[in-house]
Structure 1
Amino acid sequence: MTGAGTSQVTHLIVGPDGHGVTEYALALARHTGGHVVRDIGPLPSGPVHVTFTDHLFGPGPAEAVERVLDRCAGHPLSVSLHDIPQPQEGAERFARRRPAYLHLAGEADLVVCNSRHESAFFDSQVEVIPLPVPAVDSPYDPGPGTVGILGFIYPGKGHDDLIRALAGTGLEIRALGGVSAGHEDWAAHLQDLAAECGVRLSITGYLSEEELAVEMGRIAVPVCAHRHYSASGSLMTWLGAGRHVLVSDSPYTREMAGRWPGRIGIVSDWREALLQAAASPTPPVGAATGWDWPEVAAEWRSRWAGLWPAVSVVIPYYNDAEGLRRVVAAVRTQDYPGEVEIIIADDGSSTPPPELGCVVVRQEDHGFRAAAARNLGAGAASGEVLAFLDGDTVPGPGYLRAVVPHVVADRRAVVVGSRLTGPEHSEPAWLRQAWSRTGHLHRADETSWRFIISAVLTCSRSFFGEFGGFDPTFVGYGGEDWEFGFRAWHTGACFVHEPRATATHDEPDWGHRGCDPVRQVEEKNAETTALAQRITHPSARPAGVIFPTADIAVAVPDFREPGVREIVIAGWLRAGDVAVVPTGPVPEIFRADPRVRTVTRGERIRFVLDRPVVPAGPVADLVDRICATGGDAELLMEGEVAATARTRRRAALGGRTVPLDVDWEVIEGPRRLERDFAGW
């Protein structure tokens, strides 16, 4: 097994020293290691990390993003996003920046921002690693009436708001930092505004770390007055010096106040808050410890390690040495940066697989048992991700790189590639239609297990084990992948079709192989019969037939009035593919009926009756409604709960309960059974 480690992450750093985002990038590189490339120069192979704010990378947001993507093309891309767009920055600017940031987040393989409120901006998976709080040794010697604002001077930082708030108070504003390039006119405007308001304003210019620590100690009232917070290194610096900081109200400052309780004061009226704080300054309370660069670096390393987890490629094999060689060779030439292990699962071949330097496991030949072979291979796997490829299905370039990020983002992802078959290497029309109809399975539903193809299948090893993998009792060609998909879905799977992950199978698709038509029908019927025993959805089995596991389970309480429980049970047995589980002993009249039992057996949906109610007819349409609304419902009659219903999938995922109205019959007792059963 070979692969790239996190020490090989390359930091592409753009921007001038002293800029907050650039300084973050440089500090991250120092504390995590790895190669550093400043602005230009070749990028070594392997993952690239970019600390991004749009104005450092291009003349406009869209150009900045394209430059990053072009520069990092062909590399796994990790980004730390700063200065996240906000509506408060102005409609025109927000409209330009928003799509650029969303585009970059959608293209990157790992996306991190600095706060939870920033992560809510994005549609895709975004991690959160808060800014560090570095310890600052700042001797406390405050000047009376001094208000300090830290960092570069530019519009929106709040200097002008403080000047207006302090008009006529006699308090002094000290701006600890230089003027941001291009905003010299703004600094001059602030000086003029201060003169008009009778406020003393001093601008220190650029300060070294040592000089800054001293100047911070000379401040009586530290403030961060940004109008539109995204994330603030200035705030973290004040906290690192142990200071209590006044901040303008925002989702970010409220989040930080919760993270660092008692150290941040959220201000609604700057004049009143500053006067009170200046009259009674708060001395340092000790640095906010426990979240400095060592902790932040450790978080980044863990994210990078998870970006390309070890993969075990499992290949079932049966007497096709040449096909196996081609599949193994294609796996070995994958550009996947992490470790890749190849496991050959021999399904009882008469000739052992060729020696290819892979892990080999074997089971006896008891017929075509690809499902059991895949389980055998998965049991020998050491990788965090399982990638199943058939022994005659050759993955194209970039296959693993395309599928694994989905599993990294969601451990319950079940990812299907595109299996291109026949001389034309094309995908069957029914699958192309499925991808179009479901948005590549982003709109998967209760029937989408029909699009799970085991020849090009990837999932996490932990999730595979959670629902038991493939059903090893399958013997014969076909069907085991649909049954796998059905159980995966009801264990909470997220289905994904990844069109960039292509693999070729030189033979035509099963439906176009030109074998004996009668034999083909026999094979398909055998598959359908096997699936009907295992998949409870109505699309997989005929109505009116009793199977070991029903589609619907109904829990019936011990209604005490004579005859009521029997009428309720009989009514539900007429409602479809139903098993009834009564509280207490099974009534004598149903003891020979296998549908009335004392335990559930993994039915797709479970109704629990609160009242003695019976549906007027089949409940298949109601089950579809419940599944479409999330799979967890309270069923109401005239505003009162008559029953609850929950699918296995919703039980696995959790979620809210949806109220649905039903028109059922309430069975009132006592009831004479002969009148209900025979009409006497």
Structure 2
Amino acid sequence: MSAAVTHLIVGPDGHGVTEYALALARHAGGAVVRDTGPLPPGPVHVTFTDHLFGPSPDEAVDRVLARCAGHPLSISLHDIPQPEEGAERFARRSPAYRRLAEAGDLVAGNSRHEASFFDSPVEVIPLPVPVIESRYEPEPGTVGVLGFIYPGKGHDDVIRALAGTGLKVRALGGVSAGHENWARHLRELAAECGVDLHITGYLSDADLAAEMGRIAVPVCAHRHYSASGSLMTWLGAGRRVLVSDSPYTREMAGQWPGRIGIVSDWRTSLLDAASSPTPPIGAAAGWDWPQVADAWAQAWVDLWPAVSVVIPYYNNADGLREVVAGVRAQDYPGPVEIVVADDGSSIPPPELGCVVVRQEDLGFRAAAARNLGTAAARGEVLAFFDGDTVPAPGYLRAVVPHVVADRRAVVAGTRLTGPGRTEPAWLRQAWDRTGHLSRPDETSWRFIISAVLTCARSFFDEVGGFDATIVGYGGEDWEFGFRAWHAGAVFIHEPRAVATHDEPDWGGRSPDAAQKNAESIALAHRVTHPSARPAGVFFEAADICVRVPSFVAPGVAETVIAGWLRAGDVFVITDTVPELFRADPRVRTGAQGQRITFTLALPAVPAGPVADLVERICAAGGDAELTVGQEVAAAARTRRREALGGETVTLPVDWEIVEGPRRLERDFAGW
């Protein structure tokens, strides 16, 4: 299985935190994005210390959260704020670190001491103890401090403690960028104290191992720290280390007994250790990078939601076996359950270890079967496959991140059909035209295919699932897509999510006009867009509703209502239905347009059909004030805009304002 995260790594090679991030990525696997590269969908892991990500702690956190917005966020926290670093610095850094920990989906520190700093739960994944082959050839009287040189690392405390002792200090590592003056200060301090100080500069792994073997007394003399790679390195070489007293070092001494000496008086402890050096006692093995990477990998699984795969089934045992095998071959990191929804088969589904639910055979009821399967499902994400459509490896890993990033995502996979395993031309053209649905329009529901469909369980329930009243082949996915669009769906085509269907697409089989016509008729009753129904036919649901207030002047309401009924697929809503329209089912006291509702502020009548105006309003965002001259004649709002919210645009319209009173006989007769 490939790694469950993308590693976002910021900072220069050689920096301790950056090197931790790179090593974790090497051992755990997964894509690596350095600094500003684009992040692929899915969880992101960040190895964080504030000064690598921004000029201030707050800006560093802001950058991480902005960069990783829409991704489940895993964070390895380093350089945790400590009171010992100074009141001002501690006060400046602490809120930022706590805010980042609150925002992360998975947050881990390197010790229990670090975890106790945070108000929210923080996992503990200790730093690795790398096994280091270091030949033990100590030079008498050498005290070694390992790692970058910067204030607070304790070099100065060790130098002062050794004043006049004749012991030597070897600093194994380079000077941290920006702290060259501190290195100069240490040299001056050593000269004042009569201490031989040698700074090695940067060391390769092999040179570092050799230099460690030359040290008689290893020390970690930090004034304040909550984790230390230097300490782990000494332990990995099997050395007993003298450390400054802190909650962290006491925790480590308990974890690695006999290997850590906690110091209360540096001068006494160093002199005693130098007089009787402790030979290597064997590497503290068992917690190297493979174990650390495995601990992270187990934690990352929780960043992937549980998926329920729902498969309708009807008398095709071999097809079901192939689909289930395809699902079980997925490399999806999170839990996956399979629910088989039997649509009244005479040949029961084979025993495959899946959840099986069954409905009575009342005809081809794929929509009802999918709803039945969903009712038995427990996952946060629903993935639908037909009983003869087999997902290729990587399918779930490709689609689920879109749903995690946006609970309104409705993701269509790529279904390859027929012996040639090709995608139908009409779909390929749709993906090209819409940028894989990144530029959808009011007709893009036609590209939602239930054989390869994924969405959030919560959004599926909000939409109302599939229309279980649809009986017969096809159409239930387009109808679902239509309602989902108007509930605020974000349509996505994921080309990497591939599934295969051995038979040709419907268009490639022997055409069955009666079957396809039955589907079209069923959709015409349910999908109100003009592309799905003929003009001039009355349906139970209208595409457009117009709310007409009670205009007082005689004849005005009747003229306005009649004008709107001529404007297209319209229902008119009034407080009281005028006598003229008592037999017309399109004039009601309550209804809602499937796509758009106009609410009149003036007695205004369009000059002709309003279909083009509706498309303009939808394209502009779905919420508009319509003006005649300087006056607002009506407000228009789509159901999609009701779901999503947003700004209102102003559009001028060429409508007639009906003045009253009106003599209806003149309107009827046209004179």
Both structures adopt the same fold (TM-score exceeding 0.5): yes
Q: Does 1:527 align with 2:540?
A: no
**Structure 1: how far apart are the matches of 2:335 and 2:92?**
49
User: Residue 386 of structure 1 contacts residue 458 of structure 1 at CA under 8 Å; is this kept in 2?
Assistant: yes
Q: 1:438 aligns with which of 434, 437, 443?
A: 434
- Counting only pairs closer than 5 Å after superposition, residues 474-513 of structure 1 correspond to structure 2 as 474-513=470-509
**Structure 2: how far apart are the matches of 1:570 and 1:139?**
79
Residue 574 of structure 1 is matched in structure 2 by: 566
SS of the counterpart of 2:360? Answer: coil
Number of aligned residue pairs: 493
Question: What's the CA shift for 1:673?
Answer: 1.4
Question: What's the CA shift for 1:620?
Answer: 0.5
Q: 2:28 aligns with which of 14, 18, 43?
A: 43
User: Residue 49 of structure 1 contacts residue 77 of structure 1 at CA under 8 Å; is this kept in 2?
Assistant: no
Q: Does 1:652 align with 2:652?
A: no
Question: What's the CA shift for 1:41?
Answer: 6.0
TM-score, with length taken from structure 1: 0.64
Summarize the Cα distance change of 1:187–1:436 in structure 2 as closer, same or farther, 3 Å threshold.
farther
User: Residue 306 of structure 2 contacts residue 336 of structure 2 at CA under 8 Å; is this kept in 1?
Assistant: yes
Q: Does 1:210 align with 2:223?
A: yes
Question: What's the CA shift for 1:638?
Answer: 1.9
User: Residue 176 of structure 1 contacts residue 212 of structure 1 at CA under 8 Å; is this kept in 2?
Assistant: no
Residue 639 of structure 1 is matched in structure 2 by: 630
Residue 610 of structure 1 is matched in structure 2 by: 601
**Structure 1: how far apart are the matches of 2:628 and 2:490?**
34
Which deviations, in whole Å up to 9, do the C-alpha atoms of 1:57-84 show, x marking residues without a partner? xxxx77xx9xx99xxxx99753457789
Question: What's the CA shift for 1:22?
Answer: 5.1
Summarize the Cα distance change of 1:41–1:440 in structure 2 as closer, same or farther, 3 Å threshold.
closer
- Counting only pairs closer than 5 Å after superposition, residues 376-415 of structure 1 correspond to structure 2 as 376-415=372-411
**Structure 2: how far apart are the matches of 1:589 and 1:302?**
71
Question: What's the CA shift for 1:304?
Answer: 5.0
Q: 1:537 aligns with which of 516, 529, 538?
A: 529
Which deviations, in whole Å up to 9, do the C-alpha atoms of 1:392-440 show, x marking residues without a partner? 0011011111111110101110001111000000000110010011000
**Structure 2: how far apart are the matches of 1:120 and 1:137?**
29
SS of the counterpart of 1:357? Answer: coil
Summarize the Cα distance change of 1:209–1:53 in structure 2 as closer, same or farther, 3 Å threshold.
farther
SS of the counterpart of 1:674? Answer: helix
Question: What's the CA shift for 1:563?
Answer: 1.2
Residue 286 of structure 1 is matched in structure 2 by: none
**Structure 1: how far apart are the matches of 2:6 and 2:486?**
41
Which deviations, in whole Å up to 9, do the C-alpha atoms of 1:557-590 show, x marking residues without a partner? 11111111111111111111100001x2110111
Larger Rg, first or second structure (1 or 2):
2
Task: Give the letter for the 1:597 counterpart.
Answer: R
Task: Give the letter for the 2:83 counterpart.
Answer: D
Which deviations, in whole Å up to 9, do the C-alpha atoms of 1:91-122 show, x marking residues without a partner? xxxxxxxxxxxxxxxxxxxxxx9544665568
**Structure 2: how far apart are the matches of 1:351 and 1:492?**
40
Q: 1:559 aligns with which of 545, 551, 571?
A: 551
**Structure 1: how far apart are the matches of 2:618 and 2:63?**
31
- Counting only pairs closer than 5 Å after superposition, residues 232-631 of structure 1 correspond to structure 2 as 307-514=303-510, 517=511, 520-582=512-574, 584-631=575-622
Question: What's the CA shift for 1:668?
Answer: 1.3
Summarize the Cα distance change of 1:536–1:563 in structure 2 as closer, same or farther, 3 Å threshold.
same
User: Residue 10 of structure 2 contacts residue 52 of structure 2 at CA under 8 Å; is this kept in 1?
Assistant: no
Task: Give the letter for the 1:611 counterpart.
Answer: L
User: Residue 312 of structure 1 contacts residue 387 of structure 1 at CA under 8 Å; is this kept in 2?
Assistant: yes
What runs of 5+ residues in structure 1 fail to find an aligned partner?
27-36, 55-60, 89-112, 151-174, 191-205, 214-299
- Counting only pairs closer than 5 Å after superposition, residues 13-32 of structure 1 correspond to structure 2 as 21=17
Question: What's the CA shift for 1:38?
Answer: 3.6
SS of the counterpart of 2:545? Answer: strand
Percent identical among aligned pairs is: 65
CA RMSD for the aligned pairs?
A: 4.4
**Structure 2: how far apart are the matches of 1:12 and 1:626?**
41
SS of the counterpart of 1:328? Answer: helix
Question: What's the CA shift for 1:87?
Answer: 13
**Structure 1: how far apart are the matches of 2:6 and 2:433?**
40
Task: Give the letter for the 1:444 counterpart.
Answer: P
Task: Give the letter for the 1:614 counterpart.
Answer: V
**Structure 2: how far apart are the matches of 1:124 and 1:481?**
27
**Structure 1: how far apart are the matches of 2:302 and 2:478?**
29
**Structure 1: how far apart are the matches of 2:15 and 2:305?**
34
SS of the counterpart of 2:479? Answer: helix
**Structure 2: how far apart are the matches of 1:363 and 1:635?**
50
SS of the counterpart of 2:309? Answer: strand
**Structure 2: how far apart are the matches of 1:616 and 1:308?**
54
What runs of 5+ residues in structure 2 fail to find an aligned partner?
94-149, 154-173, 186-218, 227-295
User: Residue 605 of structure 2 contacts residue 655 of structure 2 at CA under 8 Å; is this kept in 1?
Assistant: yes
Which deviations, in whole Å up to 9, do the C-alpha atoms of 1:242-277 show, x marking residues without a partner? xxxxxxxxxxxxxxxxxxxxxxxxxxxxxxxxxxxx
Summarize the Cα distance change of 1:526–1:136 in structure 2 as closer, same or farther, 3 Å threshold.
same
**Structure 1: how far apart are the matches of 2:437 and 2:50?**
33
Question: What's the CA shift for 1:631?
Answer: 0.5
